[in-house]
Amino acid sequence: MARIAYDNEDAAAFEASRHLIDAELVAWREAISRHLDPRPGMRVLDLGSGTGMWARAFTAWYDGVEVIAVEPSEAMRARSVHRPVVPGDAEGVPLDDASVDAAWLSTVIHHVPDLTNAARELRRVLRPGAPVLIRSAFAGRHHAITLFRYFPEAVRVLDTYPSVADVEAAFATAGFAPAGFEQVPQTTAPSLREAATRLRREAHTPLQLITDDEYTAGLARLHRAAETETGAVVDSLDLLVLR
């Protein structure tokens, strides 16, 4: 079960505030391409595809690559900008054995209740040598993410997420080994003012899991800073690659 429900309200907030455009994802495209080796006929599993931003991006970036989007939340599937998208989760991927060439998991690993079972399931559906690319904020690695600067109370939520070592250890039980790890920058918003304007609590698990008073205090800090700070909001999340 996910840490939050991802009902219609959550899905709408995610769609409205978490989708990024290609110009904001240049570094991610470069990083992914280094590990994915895209080619016509390749099949990529987007596991926990949400409202489809990454599935759509992969389809646009890589000619001839088929993206299979799998998402457990009915509300998220209903709002997906990529079709088709099928129900399923990390412990029950609705694909045949050895049928995909890579798996992509974006900000989903902290919702997986049993990483060991998920690793075994990914080992089942991936072809030999295929990579698992995990984009995430991991426990203890919040310093390059703007959100935590204004909502420091949310760090305690992040620190309940799996660490990089936790994920590597769980996936090692299914024969995966680390093949790459890097921080990747993205332009999250053109300005802090715009980031504050479009922030939706329902779109961020750490914000949903702090108290209302903590959220209100953080929001006030964010809006005060937005009055004077200039420049784009650039955040860095981690990319962990396993094979």
Task: Please name the residues in contact with 22: beta carbons below 8 A apart, sequence gap of 6 or more.
Answer: 29, 57, 60
What value, to the nearest 5°, has the Cα angle with vertex 78 and ends 73 and 80? 95
d(CA 70, CA 79) in angstroms, rounded, equals: 13
This prediction has a pTM of 0.95
Domains plus CATH for the chain? 8-143+160-189+235-242 (3.40.50.150)
Q: Dihedral angle at the C-alpha atoms of 236, 135, 180, 120, nearest 10 degrees?
A: 160
Q: CA-to-CA distance for 223 and 213, rounded, in angstroms?
A: 16
- Sheet strands (E) in 32-142: 43-47, 66-70, 85-86, 102-106, 132-136
Cβ within 8 Å of residue 226, ≥6 positions away: 191, 192, 193, 195, 196
Segment 200-226, tens digit of pLDDT: 999 999 999 999 999 999 999 999 999
Strand order in the sheet with 102-106: 85-86, 66-70, 43-47, 102-106, 132-136, 233-242, 178-189
Q: Per the structure block, which two tokens stand in for 129?
A: 């040598």
- For 117-138, how does the pLDDT look when each residue is reduced to its tens digit (9 = 90+)? 999 999 999 999 999 999 999 9
Whether the per-residue pLDDT at 112 is higher than 90: the answer is yes
Residue 191 has pLDDT above 90, yes or no: yes
> So what's the pLDDT on residue 147?
97
Instruction: Report the percent of the chain where pLDDT is more than 90.
Output: 90
Alpha helices, DSSP H, located in 79-191: 115-125, 147-150, 155-158, 164-172
> Which pLDDT band, with edges at 50, 70 and 90, does 2 fall under?
low
From CA 53, how far away is CA 19, in angstroms rounded?
Answer: 6
The answer to whether 69 touches 46, Cβ cutoff 8 Å, is yes
Amino acid letter, residue 201: R
